[in-house]
Amino acid sequence: MEKNQDIRDAIKEARLKQWQVADIYGLSEGNFSRMLRKELSLTNKEKVFAAIEKAKKNIN
């Protein structure tokens, strides 16, 4: 299983692109992608999930 698979799955289920979540999180798409290569701490995961929720509201 890939690192941060829960985040990757949440982005996919929300029908978002990583760049959309990265933008809200405050990183470039490339830096966000690199960040996901290593398992994130619970605190950082919570911030990413909050960005996913915000991105979902922005597209609807």
Please tell me the pTM assigned to this model: 0.92
Q: Contact, 49 vs 41, CB < 8 A?
A: no
Print the domain residue range for 24: 5-59
Q: How many domains, in total, are found in the chain? A: 1
Which pLDDT band, with edges at 50, 70 and 90, does 60 fall under?
low
Q: Contact, 39 vs 1, CB < 8 A?
A: no
Instruction: Give phi and psi for 14, each to the nearest 5.
Output: -80, -5
Give the model confidence (pLDDT) of 10-49 as tens digits: 999 999 999 999 999 999 999 999 999 999 999 999 999 9
Amino acid making up residue 20: Q
Residue of 2, 9, 11, 12 whose CA lies nearest to 54: 11
User: What CA–CA distance (Å, rounded) separates 46 from 60?
Assistant: 22
